[in-house]
Structure 1
C-alpha cells in the first residue's frame, strides 16, 4: 500500500503558530497569577509572624517591678507602722498596665488581704506637698483599698479614672496599715510581711521583708 503524505499549506502553519502562542500566553498568565498569590500569602504570613512575635515578647516582658517599700509611724511613742508606700514601675519592655485592674495581696503572716484601687485616692505630682506620708493621702483608704501617688508621668498617661502606667512612669501605691491590720493596729516590730502586686496581664511585682527589731526614734523606715 502506498504511503499517503499530506503537504502542509502556508495557512495551516500559521494556524498552528497562533495556537501555540495562545497556549504559551495562557501558561504565562497562570504562572504569573500563581506567583502573585504565593507572594501575597508569604507577605501575610511574614506580617502575622512578626505580629505574633511582638505580642509574645510583650507578654513575656510585661509586668511590674517593686523598687522600694517604706513604712511610717505617727510619733516615736507608737509601737507600730500605720502607713506604707510601695514604689513600682513597669518592667523593661513592658506593655502599658492599667492599675484599675491591678490588685495587691498583702500578709503579715497572720492575716492575708486583697486590696483594690480606690479611684478617690489618686494624687498627682501637683498634689504632693513634700510629705509623702501626709495623713490626707491615707485616711480615706479602707481595709480593702489602695491609693496612688504619681511620682513620674512624662506622657500624662496616669489619671484617677485611667491610671495607666507605661515606660518611664513611677508611682507609689499607698496603704493604710491601721485599717488593713486593725487587729494589731498596723504592723508591729519583727513581723514577717510578704505580698505581690498582680496586674491584669503580665508578671506580678513580688516582695517580702521583716519589720525592724525596734523602731527607735525614727518615724520613717525603708522596709524593702
Structure 2
C-alpha cells in the first residue's frame, strides 16, 4: 500500500473544486444572458403595449356639432357631423376608420366611401372638408382641421310607412334616437348619441340639431 500523501490529495481536491467553480460561473453566465434577453423582450413588449394604449385613448375623433336633414316626409334622412381631432391625437385617417350605427332597426357597421359619398344601401359613410388648409381630408392631421362626416338614412317608398324599411340605416322619425360610434384605425372610440326633436313638421327641407 502506498503511503498517504497529504499534498497530492489536496491538489486533486483543488482541481475538482476549480472545475465545479468554473461550471457554476458558466451556468450563471448563461442564466444571466437568458434573463437579460427576457428583460429586453418584456421591455419592448411593454413599450409597444403602452404606445398602442396611448393611441387608443388619445387618437379620437371628436364631434363638435351634428345636424339632421329633414325630408318632405318629416323624416331625418341624412346625419351630418362636424368632426375634429381630440387633444393630443395624431393623424386620423377616416379611410381606415369605421362607424358603428345603432338605430331603431338594429346595428350596422359603416366603411368609408372612396369618393366621399354617403350611401345607405351600400353601408358607407361620406366625408368632405369644412376647413383643410393642406387638402388632407379624409385625413385629420392638424388641430384646426374640420371634416364633415355624412351618414345617409333610407326613406320608405312613396306612400309607405317608415316601418316598411328593413335597412338598419332607416330614416329617423321625430323623437327617435340613435347611437353613432366612431372607431379609428388605432381602435380608439368616440360615441355620439343622436336625439331627433319630437316634432319635425316645421323643419321640412331644412336641418335640425341632433
TM-score (ref. length: structure 1): 0.59
* Counterpart Cα distance in 2 of 1:111 and 1:207: 16
Contact 2:82/2:149 (CA < 8 Å) preserved in 1? yes
3-state DSSP of counterpart to 2:154: helix
**Residue in 2 that maps onto 1:166:** 141
Q: Which runs of 4+ in 1 moved over 4 A?
A: 54-59
Counterpart in 1 of 2:180? 195
Q: 2:196 aligns with which of 195, 199, 211?
A: 211
Note closer, same or farther for the CA distance 1:199–1:209 as it changes in structure 2 (3 Å cut): same
Cα displacement (A) at 1:83: 1.2
**SS where residue 83 of structure 2 aligns?**
strand
* 3-state SS of paired residue (1:82): strand
Query: Does 2:113 align with 1:118?
Result: yes
Residues 1:157 and 2:136 aligned together: yes
Kept in 2, the 8 Å contact 1:143–1:176? The answer is no
1:207 & 1:96 partners in 2: Cα distance? 21
Query: How far apart are residue 59 of structure 1 and its match?
Result: 5.2
Task: Report the alpha carbon displacement of residue 209 of structure 1 after superposing the two structures with TM.
Answer: 2.9
Residue 200 of structure 2 is aligned to residue 221 of structure 1 = no
Q: 1:177 aligns with which of 135, 143, 153?
A: 153
- Check conservation: 1:118, 1:141, Cα contact below 8 A: no
3-state SS in 2 of match to 1:94: coil
User: For 1:104, which of 81, 99, 107 is the aligned residue?
Assistant: 99
Deviation at 1:57, TM superposition (A): 5.2
Deviations 1:121-161 (A, max 9, x none): x3xxxxxxxxxxxxxx65x5534111111101122222xxx
| Residue aligning to 1:34 | none
Gaps of 5+ in 1: 1-47, 123-136
| Structure 2 unmatched ranges of 5 or more | 1-43, 157-161
Length-normalised TM-score, structure 2: 0.63
Q: Which residue of 1 aligns with 2:23?
A: none
In 1, Cα distance between equivalents of 2:66 and 2:136: 23
1:179/1:116 Cα in 2 relative to 1: closer, same or farther (>3 Å)? farther
User: SS where residue 100 of structure 1 aligns?
Assistant: helix
Instruction: Return closer, same or farther for 1:93/1:108 CA change in 2, 3 Å cut-off.
Output: same
